[in-house]
């Protein structure tokens, strides 16, 4: 079976062939620049240019015919050792391939008009190539060592651009006329080799045959149903006759019923075994078909990295640096959509490595390094993810310089900056508008780059991390899904409904005992690796009305974005699944906290959560003081054992002294840092007593007491004021506001506070 291109126009075929031949030319020219005596590469280049000329002649693209013809002459002359292809000659040849790519990217009907307007440019390219053949090429050596950034094809969108922090398209990336065989501009062609298509068709045929077996099962089950109905009618008749007193014939009829029952049982067992076998076969066929279809979307990493060496070559020469690029894992298979989307992050990081990372040759020699720097790009699979690393052997990230920039931009105070770890400092590089450059150049300095990389990776459901070795280099590690159409997901249950977290965005899973939850300043926390993680209810974040069921342990999914980390409390973990991702209907727009949809095994709908959105939603809830308790059920149970007290005071020392004292007497204590925090805590919790200071920011204690006593649901909650103000008018003001007790800090001792609490709400245990 051969590939079927019958539905493609001749120009579509030309464009497809041109794409492959230009990739071969670009790669081969870079190899030839390092080894100009490589006869095999010269032969391949000659054949590529010859094929390109023939394809262009078939569809009448005359400018490509002219350029490719002279390129072929160049390679033939080099094969016969009449000329030597030095770097200046390679420059001319590469610019000629850029020009061909520009022409091939035009719509078929536009080429004639373009040629009439740009004939001088084509003639100049042909003339330069002819000079190489005649060994008459005259090149400005300064220009060849540092090519102009505007040098290249006339099409502005095609002009090579180097912008390490600008997010501009990579070098030699031409606009493509996305014209499909059917004439629709948004269709894309997917090339599948004949062997894979044969396997897909074969498995599809088997699945079709298997699906027809269902009719046999249906007929058998209908027969079983009729036999059971007969059995039921006979049994009812027997029971009726037994009631009429006919025992003589009963034994025979019972034996007949027993035979019928045994026949039904055997048939049912046989059909269930067949059904089980069918399920296994169908599952195997479905899996095979799925892997074949998925495989048809996979492309080797080499196809996405084809232009990287050219970009590194030209940029390093422009910056007067010597850089060699090594690409490992070229055969690593990547989903074509993922491959397309990672090109921009790769270009950003590589331009960063050349501009910021590696040093000038003289600096490297002074540091005891080879004059030529090395950048290694490696692609591999691991743990169900695609892993791409970009490592250079430059000077690494100067952390002292980074601290200065953070301070200059006012992003933090010098005291805090001095306490930041290396990893925390590096995180600042991913902030928008952050650059370590003092001036803006054509290559970098505008503060756009790594934040774009980070955002792109998040959009793909991936992550980016940094390993820095000062003086030795830096490594950026990208981890992202192997495919955008299939997702490894964690399934959880929230408010009795299933939801999916992208597994790559889940930091940790925790089962936390209810009595290990800490409540401070009106917020709930659990401990993870010695750090406190803020908790939020999944049902509250998603806006679902649901009360959590009482459990000894709560299930927590730890998620994060670049700036914050939270623990999302869910009802239970369902398990890990590989699910098919279906995009939301565009008419719905962007749904908050939801990124896509899928289906459960039983056909029930499944929503895939947007982790970045959820973290922002939690931030919004926390800042608004609307965070509900994740321990409602546990606290209700705890309330049967210990009474709950809320301490509201802006002094950390006072809060902790009072907390320790009350907890030592068996009370359950939570704290709030000021009146507003205390008011939010009172409304979201169930407290038997509130102890408040008077002088606090945002809302003072007197206003807090008034707010509590004016609320119909909270007015019965006892409130004690503990304050340094001990004047009679201060006491009078507090009591008039509604306080049930007033205690002066200056004179109270441990027994006085405990006695006052006992007077108001009794002993700690109910």
- CATH code of the domain containing 687: 3.40.50.2300
Beta bridge partners, 494, equal 497
Three-state secondary structure of 498-535: EEEEEHHHEEEEEEEEHHHCEEECCEEEEEECCEEEEE
The verdict on 337 and 413 lying in the same domain is yes
Does residue 628 lie in a domain region?
no
Q: What is the pLDDT of residue 318?
A: 86
Q: What is the pLDDT of residue 146?
A: 38
d(CA 735, CA 705): 9
Look at residues 279, 296, 313 and tell me which one is the last residue of a structural domain: 296
d(CA 692, CA 706): 12
Does residue 576 lie in a domain region?
yes
Check if the beta carbon of residue 696 is closer than 8 Å to that of residue 727: no
The verdict on 533 and 553 lying in the same domain is yes
The verdict on 473 and 519 lying in the same domain is no
Residue 346's domain spans which residues?
300-481
- Which tokens is 462 given? 């991936």
Q: Where are the beta strands (DSSP E) in 247-314?
A: 298-300
Up-side HSE of residue 648: CA atoms within 13 Å toward CB? 32
List CB contacts of 392: < 8 A, sequence separation 6 or more.
353, 357, 358, 373, 374, 375, 376, 473, 474, 475
- Which tokens is 118 given? 């740009």
Does residue 155 lie in a domain region?
no
d(CA 347, CA 646): 55
Does residue 289 lie in a domain region?
yes
Does residue 167 lie in a domain region?
no
List CB contacts of 556: < 8 A, sequence separation 6 or more.
509, 510, 511, 512, 526, 533, 535, 567, 568, 569, 570
The verdict on 502 and 388 lying in the same domain is no
Q: How many residues does the structure list for the chain?
A: 766
Look at residues 296, 313, 337 and tell me which one is the last residue of a structural domain: 296
Q: What is the pLDDT of residue 151?
A: 37
Question: How is 225-236 classified by DSSP, letter by letter?
Answer: HHHHHHHHHHHH
Does residue 306 lie in a domain region?
yes
The verdict on 459 and 492 lying in the same domain is no
> What CATH number corresponds to the domain at position 279?
1.10.287
CB atoms within 10 A of CB 312: 23
Q: What is the pLDDT of residue 206?
A: 62
The verdict on 92 and 130 lying in the same domain is yes
Closest residue by Cα to residue 447 from 455, 459, 438, 456: 438
Does residue 197 lie in a domain region?
no
Averages of pLDDT over each 10 residues, the chain, 766 residues? 51 80 84 81 86 84 89 87 85 88 86 87 89 65 38 35 32 36 45 64 61 65 76 72 62 71 76 76 75 76 82 87 91 85 87 89 92 93 85 90 86 84 83 64 51 80 86 90 80 91 88 80 78 86 71 85 84 86 79 85 82 85 67 48 84 83 85 83 81 85 89 86 79 86 72 86 78
Check if the beta carbon of residue 722 is closer than 8 Å to that of residue 658: yes
Q: What is the pLDDT of residue 629?
A: 67
The verdict on 339 and 456 lying in the same domain is yes
The verdict on 222 and 121 lying in the same domain is no
Sign of the dihedral through C-alpha 460, 462, 467, 472: negative
The verdict on 335 and 426 lying in the same domain is yes
Does residue 731 lie in a domain region?
yes
The verdict on 460 and 596 lying in the same domain is no
Q: What is the greatest pairwise CA distance in the chain?
A: 123
> What CATH number corresponds to the domain at position 53?
1.20.120.160
The verdict on 669 and 571 lying in the same domain is no
The verdict on 255 and 307 lying in the same domain is no
d(CA 414, CA 407): 6
Beta bridge partners, 668, equal 644
Supply the pTM of this predicted model.
Answer: 0.59
Angle at alpha carbon of residue 703, lines to 697 and 705, rounded to 5°: 120
Look at residues 263, 296, 329 and tell me which one is the last residue of a structural domain: 296
Give me the number of domains the chain comprises. 5
Query: Which DSSP helix (H) or strand (E) runs through 474?
Result: strand 473-481
> What CATH number corresponds to the domain at position 382?
3.30.565.10
Q: What is the pLDDT of residue 700?
A: 87
> What CATH number corresponds to the domain at position 535?
2.40.50.180
């Amino acid at each position: 079976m051969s590939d079927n291109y019958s539905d493609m126009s001749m120009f579509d075929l030309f464009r497809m062939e041109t794409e492959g031949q230009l990739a071969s030319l670009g790669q081969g020219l870079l190899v030839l620049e390092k080894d100009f005596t490589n006869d095999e590469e010269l032969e391949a280049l000659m054949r590529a240019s010859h094929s390109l000329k023939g394809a262009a002649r078939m569809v009448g693209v005359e400018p490509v015919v002219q350029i490719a013809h002279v390129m072929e002459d160049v390679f033939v002359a080099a094969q016969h050792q009449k000329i030597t292809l030095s770097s200046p000659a390679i420059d001319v040849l590469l610019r000629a391939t850029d020009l061909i790519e520009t022409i091939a990217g035009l719509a078929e009907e536009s080429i004639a008009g373009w040629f009439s307007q740009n004939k001088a440019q084509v003639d100049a390219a042909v003339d330069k190539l002819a000079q190489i053949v005649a060994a008459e090429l005259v090149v400005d050596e300064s220009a060849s060592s540092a090519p102009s950034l505007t040098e290249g094809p006339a099409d502005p969108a095609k002009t090579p651009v180097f912008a390490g922090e600008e997010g501009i398209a990579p070098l030699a990336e031409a606009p493509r006329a996305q014209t499909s065989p059917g004439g629709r501009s948004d269709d894309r062609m997917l090339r599948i080799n004949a062997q894979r298509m044969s396997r897909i068709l074969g498995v599809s045929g088997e699945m079709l045959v298997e699906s027809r077996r269902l009719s046999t099962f249906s007929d058998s089950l209908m027969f079983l149903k009729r036999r059971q109905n007969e059995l039921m009618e006979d049994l009812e008749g027997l029971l009726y006759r037994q009631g009429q007193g006919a025992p003589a014939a009963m034994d025979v009829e019972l034996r007949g019923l027993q035979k019928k029952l045994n026949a039904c049982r055997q048939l049912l067992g046989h059909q269930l075994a067949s059904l089980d076998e069918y399920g296994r076969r169908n599952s195997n066929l479905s899996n095979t078909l799925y892997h074949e279809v998925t495989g048809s979307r996979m492309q080797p990493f080499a196809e996405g990295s084809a232009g990287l060496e050219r970009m590194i070559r030209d940029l390093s020469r422009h910056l007067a640096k010597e850089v060699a690029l090594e690409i490992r894992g070229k055969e690593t298979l990547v989903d074509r959509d993922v491959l397309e989307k990672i090109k921009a992050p790769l270009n950003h990081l590589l331009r960063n490595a050349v501009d910021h990372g590696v040093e000038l040759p003289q600096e490297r020699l002074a540091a005891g390094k080879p004059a030529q720097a090395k950048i290694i790009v490696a692609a591999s699979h691991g743990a169900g993810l695609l892993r791409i690393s970009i490592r250079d052997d430059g000077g690494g990230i100067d952390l002292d310089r980074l601290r200065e920039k953070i301070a200059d931009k006012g992003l933090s105070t010098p005291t805090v900056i001095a306490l930041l770890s290396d990893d925390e400092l590096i995180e600042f590089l991913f902030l928008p508008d952050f650059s370590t450059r003092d001036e803006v150049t054509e290559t970098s300095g505008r503060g756009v780059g790594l934040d774009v990389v980070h955002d792109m990776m998040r959009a793909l459901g991936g992550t980016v991390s940094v390993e820095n070795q000062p003086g030795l280099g830096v490594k950026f590690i990208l981890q992202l899904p192997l495919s955008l159409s299939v997702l490894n997901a964690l399934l959880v249950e929230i408010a009795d409904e299933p939801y999916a977290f992208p597994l790559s965005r889940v930091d940790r899973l925790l089962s936390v005992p209810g009595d290990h939850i800490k409540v401070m300043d009106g917020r709930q926390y659990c401990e993870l690796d010695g750090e406190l993680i803020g908790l939020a209810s999944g049902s509250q974040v998603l806006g679902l009305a649901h009360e959590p069921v009482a459990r000894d342990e709560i299930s927590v999914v730890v998620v994060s974005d670049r700036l914050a980390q939270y623990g999302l409390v869910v009802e239970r973990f369902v398990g890990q699944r590989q699910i098919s991702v279906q995009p939301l209907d565009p008419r719905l727009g962007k749904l908050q906290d939801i990124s896509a949809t899928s289906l459960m095994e039983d056909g029930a709908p499944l929503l895939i959560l947007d982790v970045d959105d959820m973290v922002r939603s939690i931030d919004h809830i926390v800042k608004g003081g609307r965070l509900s308790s994740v321990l409602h059920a546990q606290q209700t149970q705890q309330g049967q054992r210990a009474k709950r007290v809320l301490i509201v005071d802006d002094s950390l020392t006072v809060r902790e002294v009072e907390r320790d004292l009350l907890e030592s007497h068996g009370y359950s204590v939570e704290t709030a840092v000021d009146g507003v925090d205390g008011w939010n805590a009172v409304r979201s919790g169930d407290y038997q007593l509130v102890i408040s200071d008077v002088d606090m920011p945002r809302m003072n204690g007197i206003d807090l007491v008034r707010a509590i006593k004016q609320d119909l649901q909270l007015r019965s909650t006892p409130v004690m004021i503990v304050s340094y103000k001990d004047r009679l008018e201060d006491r009078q003001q507090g009591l008039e506001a509604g306080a049930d007790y007033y205690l002066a800090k200056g004179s109270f001792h441990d027994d006085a506070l405990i006695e006052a609490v006992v007077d108001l709400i009794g002993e700690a245990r109910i």
